[in-house]
């Protein structure tokens, strides 16, 4: 039987929110089978649980934000996509996440620090079947027309494969790869995707900070680009780090489905909003998906039966 996974022990981290700039403490706790990934705002007078589910998403403008009941006015947790990506990459099904602020810590701007944190606690197999959302027919969502068009698609596939393409008219980005393919059966998430950092342009910083955003951003937790070049002294971690970070985000956004997807995902210039729209379109069509488990490991797609560190 392909089993669910949680942590062996409790682990903690401290950081700042990239938008709020506020200090935040994070405590990751093991959770029983079928719990899912549940965030708990422990800084409130009465702690509030917020499950990472499609219906909990209340804002996708700059990040994936979830709230109690999906209510924009309810307690929320912002910028969960890097953490959710790490959980997806390591196959974590069940986890309780205690958090002391309304935003996840940005740490180094990628998923690598979260991967390290999860692996340091140890990953434990649980006596329950791992559940997947198997896509049965093609679902596509679009935004805009002509040169401004963006789209994302899910298609049936026995595994989990992603293709992402970006288009940035910028010298520093144009010099790198703007299309990436990743298959969990062939590639290693920790090695190939997890270290890709978020990025931003100096020309946008003042406007964003005037709106109370990116107050915690710096070259310690983001790739910073001026009109022509990358400003970080160490350069890029991957030759195609820009598009790999967009794919990293997509992995996290789509893990808000509540279970790993069995599908092929393709996106052109997509982002958090389009990814959430895609999941909502999938779940709105009962004929487009089903829950699946694998009693025999030999029946599971490649990449899912191995222990998490192999990914």
What are 34-52's pLDDT values in tens digits?
A: 999 999 999 999 999 999 9
CA distance 171 to 286: 44
Which residue out of 19, 82, 245, 272 is catalytically annotated?
272
Paired tokens of 221: 């937790």
Residue 29: the pLDDT is: 98
pLDDT tens profile 49-81: 999 999 999 999 889 999 999 999 999 999 999
Residue 82 bears catalytic tag: no
**205: pLDDT strictly greater than 90:** no
Could you tell me the pLDDT band of residue 311, with boundaries at 50, 70 and 90? very low
177 band by pLDDT with thresholds 50, 70 and 90:
confident
HEC assignment per residue over the chain? CCEEEEECCCEEEEEEECCCCCEEEEEEEECCCCCCEEEEECCCCCCEEEECCHHHEEECCCCCEEEHHHCCCCCEEECCHHHHHHHHHHCCCCEEEEECCCECECCCCCCHHHHHHHHHHCEEEEEEECCEEEECCCEEEEECCHHHCEEEEEECCCCEEEEEECCCCCHHHHCCCCEEEEECCCCCHHHHCCCCCCEEEHHHHHHHHHCCCCCCCCCCCCEEECCCCECCCCCCCCCCHHHHHHHHHHHHHHHHHCCCEEEEEEEECCCHHHHHHHHHHHHHCHHHEEEECCCCHHHCCCCCCCCHHHC
Please give the model's pTM, rounded to 2 decimal places. Answer: 0.93
Q: Which residues contact 169 (CB under 8 A, 6 or more apart)?
A: none
């Amino acid at each position: 039987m392909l089993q669910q996974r949680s942590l062996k022990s409790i682990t903690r981290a401290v950081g700042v929110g990239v938008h709020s700039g506020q200090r935040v403490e994070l405590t990751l706790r093991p959770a029983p089978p079928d719990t899912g990934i549940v965030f708990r705002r422990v800084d409130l007078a009465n702690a509030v649980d917020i499950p990472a589910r499609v219906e909990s998403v209340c804002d996708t403008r700059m990040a994936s934000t979830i709230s109690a009941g999906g209510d924009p006015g309810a307690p929320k947790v912002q910028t969960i996509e890097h953490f959710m990506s790490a959980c997806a990459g390591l196959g974590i099904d069940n986890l309780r996440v205690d958090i002391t602020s309304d935003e996840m810590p940005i740490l180094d701007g990628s998923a690598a620090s979260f991967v390290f944190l999860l692996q340091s606690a140890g990953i434990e197999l649980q006596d329950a079947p791992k559940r997947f959302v198997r896509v049965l027919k093609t679902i596509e969502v679009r935004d805009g027309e002509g040169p401004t068009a963006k789209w994302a698609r899910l298609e049936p596939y026995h595994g989990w494969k992603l293709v992402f393409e970006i288009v940035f008219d910028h010298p520093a980005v144009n010099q790198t790869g703007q299309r990436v393919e990743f298959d969990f059966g062939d590639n290693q998430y920790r090695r190939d995707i997890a270290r890709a950092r978020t990025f931003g342009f100096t020309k946008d910083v003042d406007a964003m900070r005037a709106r109370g955003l990116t107050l915690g951003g710096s070259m310690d937790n983001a790739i910073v680009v001026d009109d022509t070049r990358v400003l970080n002294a160490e350069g890029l971690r991957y030759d195609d780090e820009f598009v790999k970070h967009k794919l990293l985000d997509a992995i996290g956004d789509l893990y808000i489905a509540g279970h790993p997807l069995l599908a092929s995902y393709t996106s052109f210039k997509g982002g958090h909003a389009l990814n959430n729209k895609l999941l909502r379109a999938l779940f709105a069509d009962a004929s487009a998906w089903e829950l699946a488990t694998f009693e025999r490991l030999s029946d599971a797609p490649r990449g899912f039966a191995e222990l998490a560190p192999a990914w």
